[in-house]
């Protein structure tokens, strides 16, 4: 009997020691060692501690191609998410692998569910990244149908607002009347482009219209333009209607009454003329390759055989890309009896008016030529400081 009592006493002591050790572990970690998820809470109390997972369900519209950000650090896409029969939200995509999922949803016009996303700083745009979860919603979760984007479903801004507030590569919707439309085929491409002026009741902006919309836009007619891309060229903002944009004719609108005398004349188009005896210094000579598709500079060129354009996303053999050159140089100009130091930029076409083709990509030769040359007349854009013409005086 005494032996049995001794065993029972030892078992009790062991259990007490285990409970003390467990309590100390619980105190050290701040958790109940039996259930770290508060299993001792009642069901109603558990629900109070859960954080609901925010979600958006809708249809994908206007998914763009990849675009490089302004800091040249990452690619992104833009799209719109239709979240109700009449509501569309702007969105940014920072996950290249998820673009295929969004593209499939857009092409098939099937809804998609987004979870674990965030918003832009102003709270106006959905941000989708690698953490975002995408799935197909249940039939009970999406109770509305796909609606095509129309001018009635979109918000439009003014040309003056674009000039004052928009950044390059922003997507905007504008209404206006088109003037001075003319063909403007880019160099070294087979693409067709027409350029002109878009005018509303407040301001004027240059517009580029690319295929397949060229036939839809005519001079002296008013239109609603959707998904225009803001660009900057020679220091001035303009808008471009690309393949993914939309255009609708306006019939009963005050914009149709705008006349050519309302077109704003751009003061930045004024050319400055200067005659210099010598170039003060050359700050940079850049030799680069241009894209076969959009003719823009290829930014990320490695030592490989293939390069991809950060602007339009096209990949191509580097050997087929044209090599181009531009130069920045410093001059001294007399203005109002004061010396002004200006840095001008000259591109390949203007360089060829004063140097030979053989010298064009030879940096030391160009440096020697310009730093020893005397008597040069220059015309340049006063706003962008880009050289318009070079003329070397005889003698």
Q: Is residue 144 part of a domain?
A: no
Rounded distance, CA 360 to CA 75, Å? 33
Report residue 80: phi and psi, to 5°: -115, 140
Rounded distance, CA 315 to CA 374, Å? 44
Considering 75, 106, 135, which residue would you say is the last residue of a domain?
135
Torsion angle, alpha carbons of 118, 122, 125, 130, to 10: -30
Q: Is residue 12 part of a domain?
A: no
Q: Is residue 87 part of a domain?
A: yes
Rounded distance, CA 203 to CA 161, Å? 9
Rounded distance, CA 188 to CA 295, Å? 7
Residues 97 and 181 placed together within one structural domain of the fold:
no
The answer to whether the CB of 189 falls within 8 A of the CB of 264 is no
Residues 275 and 261 placed together within one structural domain of the fold:
no
Q: Which residues contact 177 (CB under 8 A, 6 or more apart)?
A: 198, 199, 200, 220, 221, 222, 223, 255, 256, 258
Question: Chain centroid to CA 131: how far?
Answer: 21
> What token pair was written down for 183?
């063909």
Residues 326 and 215 placed together within one structural domain of the fold:
no
The CATH number of whichever domain residue 212 belongs to comes to: 2.40.50.140
Residues 286 and 341 placed together within one structural domain of the fold:
yes
Pairing of strands 376-381, 387-392: antiparallel
Residues 66 and 128 placed together within one structural domain of the fold:
yes
Residues 158 and 252 placed together within one structural domain of the fold:
yes
Q: What is the mean pLDDT of each run of 10 residues along the chain (395 residues)?
A: 53 54 46 38 41 78 82 84 90 92 93 93 89 92 87 85 87 92 64 86 91 90 92 84 88 88 66 85 89 76 79 81 89 79 86 86 91 88 78 74
Torsion angle, alpha carbons of 122, 124, 129, 132, to 10: 120
Residues 187 and 207 placed together within one structural domain of the fold:
yes
Considering 265, 290, 310, which residue would you say is the last residue of a domain?
265
Residues 252 and 295 placed together within one structural domain of the fold:
no
Q: Is residue 34 part of a domain?
A: no
Structural domain of 163: 151-265
Q: Is residue 5 part of a domain?
A: no
Rounded distance, CA 133 to CA 115, Å? 5
Instruction: Tell me which residue of 331, 174, 182 sits closest to 253, measured CA to CA.
Output: 174
pLDDT of residue 44: 43
The partner residues of 223 in beta bridges, in order of sequence, read: 176, 249
Residues 259 and 275 placed together within one structural domain of the fold:
no
Sort 393 into a burial class: Cβ within 10 Å, 0-12 / 13-18 / 19+.
Answer: exposed
Q: Is residue 292 part of a domain?
A: yes
Residues 158 and 197 placed together within one structural domain of the fold:
yes
Considering 265, 298, 324, which residue would you say is the last residue of a domain?
265
The answer to whether the CB of 85 falls within 8 A of the CB of 150 is no
DSSP summary character for residue 297 = B
Total of domains in the chain: 3
DSSP string spanning 217-247?
--TT-EEEEEEEEEEEETTEEEEEE-TT-EE
DSSP summary character for residue 189 = -
Residues 277 and 386 placed together within one structural domain of the fold:
yes
Alpha-helix residue ranges (DSSP H) falling in 143-266? 159-165
Residues 283 and 384 placed together within one structural domain of the fold:
yes
Question: Chain centroid to CA 292: how far?
Answer: 20
Q: Is residue 212 part of a domain?
A: yes
SS3 of residue 196 by DSSP? strand
Residue appearing with tokens 């030769």: 365
Distance separating the N- and C-terminal Cα atoms of the chain: 129
The answer to whether the CB of 68 falls within 8 A of the CB of 75 is yes
Q: Is residue 3 part of a domain?
A: no
Instruction: Tell me which residue of 207, 172, 138, 158 sits closest to 62, measured CA to CA.
Output: 172
């Amino acid at each position: 009997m005494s032996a049995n009592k001794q065993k029972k006493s030892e078992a009790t002591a062991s259990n007490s020691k285990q409970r003390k050790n467990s309590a100390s572990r619980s105190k050290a970690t701040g958790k109940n060692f039996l259930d770290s998820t508060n299993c001792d809470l009642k069901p109603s109390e558990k629900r109070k501690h859960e954080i609901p997972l925010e979600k958006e369900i809708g249809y994908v519209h206007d998914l763009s191609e990849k675009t490089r950000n302004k800091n040249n650090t990452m690619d992104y896409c833009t799209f719109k998410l239709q979240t109700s029969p009449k509501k569309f939200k702007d969105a940014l995509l920072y996950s290249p692998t998820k673009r295929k999922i969004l593209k499939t949803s857009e092409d098939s016009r099937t809804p998609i569910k987004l979870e674990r996303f965030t918003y832009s700083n102003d709270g106006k745009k959905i941000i989708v990244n690698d953490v975002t979860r995408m799935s197909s919603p249940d039939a009970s979760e999406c109770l509305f149908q796909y609606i095509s984007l129309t001018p009635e479903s979109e918000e439009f801004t003014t040309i003056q607002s674009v000039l004052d507030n928009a950044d390059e590569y922003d997507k905007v919707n504008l209404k206006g009347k088109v003037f001075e439309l003319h063909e403007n085929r880019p160099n070294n491409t087979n693409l067709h482009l027409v350029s002109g002026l878009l005018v509303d009741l407040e301001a004027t902006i240059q517009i580029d219209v690319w295929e397949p919309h060229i036939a839809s836009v005519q001079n002296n007619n008013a239109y609603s333009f959707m998904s225009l891309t803001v660009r900057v060229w020679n220091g001035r903002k303009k808008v471009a209607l690309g393949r993914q944009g939309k255009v609708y004719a306006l019939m009963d609108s005050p914009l149709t009454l705008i006349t050519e005398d309302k077109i704003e004349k751009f003061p930045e188009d004024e050319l400055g003329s200067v005659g210099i005896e010598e170039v003060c210094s050359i700050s940079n000579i850049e030799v680069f390759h241009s894209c076969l598709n959009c003719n823009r500079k290829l930014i990320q060129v490695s030592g490989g055989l293939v390069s991809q354009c950060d602007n339009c996303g096209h990949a191509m053999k580097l050997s087929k890309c044209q090599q181009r050159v531009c130069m920045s140089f410093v001059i001294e100009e007399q203005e109002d009896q004061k010396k002004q130091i200006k840095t001008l930029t000259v591109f390949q076409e203007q360089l060829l008016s004063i140097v030979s083709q053989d010298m064009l990509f030879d940096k030391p030769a160009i440096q020697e030529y310009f730093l020893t040359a005397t008597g040069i007349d220059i015309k340049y854009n006063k706003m962008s400081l880009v050289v318009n013409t070079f003329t070397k005086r005889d003698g």
